[in-house]
Amino acid sequence: MLRRQLLLGIRSSSPWLHFLVAFVLVFCCVLIDERLCCRHLLGLLLARYAVGSLVTLEMLAHLLALGILPEGYIYPKHERPVRDLLRRRSFLVKKRTSFLLAMRGAFECRTGMRTTSNEVKQWTCEEVESHLDDPLSALGITCLLEPMRALNDQIRIIEKETLKRARLRDEFAPLLTVWGIGKILALTMMYEVGEIARFRKVGNFASYCRLVKSARLSAGKRKGSGNPRNGNPYLSWAFSEAAHYAVRYYPPAKKYFQRKMSKTNGIIAIRALAHKLARAAYYVMKDQVDFDPDKVFR
């Protein structure tokens, strides 16, 4: 008797996601008779979730029978703890950055003095109070110093544990040659990508990283847009971080960033550079070659 594995493709809205997780945990794989009607099986499993769905169960069954139903990627269970820990690190880094920008903005607004983020990291309460006459204004800045340092300590702990337990797989090792990508960012990308072979083209990978436009154009006119939140937000953040480091330490990247910024603004310019690095990272991972800046910034 011929049997085959049934893969369920379901939408990622909340009830569908909960059902998928429960299904995978309880039934690792479902083997059904080849002669059974897929429509009846799908109707049995998904009937209570079909209300409001844009795709009918009959269409899902038809796509499944043809073998063209898009399938979601499920991360291996043993890799999820490290992936989730790296996601927590990105959350703490964002919080630390928000504290830095809040302190820097408040200080410059009240004193008219320009400062940098590196200087803010070295501040003490006495130094801040010496520049401000109002003690309440000084307290509004200094109250964030200790939380910022506590975040620094927790980020270091997470990085130490991650480097102790995780290792870059061979196919992701060339990521370390890409400008702006260090060990932690490379591990973040590895655990978020999973398998680079699941992206057929570089455009698919860039879209998954949320680094392409979602506008729909016709004859040069905007006719709508796709969902800009489709894709992986952690990869989007990781490549933006790599772009910031590349601008700071590599002149060709800085030159490209400045050229883009002269036409638009800093945010769009850094995202354009992140898009370039993401495309380069795709070929580095897929072809197992080192990063070549001459091809990226020619």
Q: Label residue 107 by pLDDT band (50, 70, 90).
A: very high
Query: Over the chain, what is the mean pLDDT?
Result: 81
Rounded mean pLDDT, 169-183:
93
111 or 18, higher pLDDT: 111
Rounded mean pLDDT, 93-114:
93
Query: What is the pTM (predicted TM-score) of this model?
Result: 0.76
In the predicted model, is pLDDT for residue 261 greater than 70? Answer: yes
In the predicted model, is pLDDT for residue 11 greater than 70? Answer: no
pLDDT, residue 3, reads 37
N-term to C-term CA, the chain: 59
Rounded mean pLDDT, 209-213:
89
Give 32's strand partners. 4
pLDDT, residue 214, reads 78
Using a 10 angstrom Cβ sphere, with 0-12 exposed, 13-18 middle and 19 or more buried, the burial of residue 209 is buried
Residues 251 and 297: their CA atoms lie apart, in Å, by 11
Domain ranges of the chain: 3-66, 78-165, 170-216+227-296
- Token pair belonging to 101: 């920008």
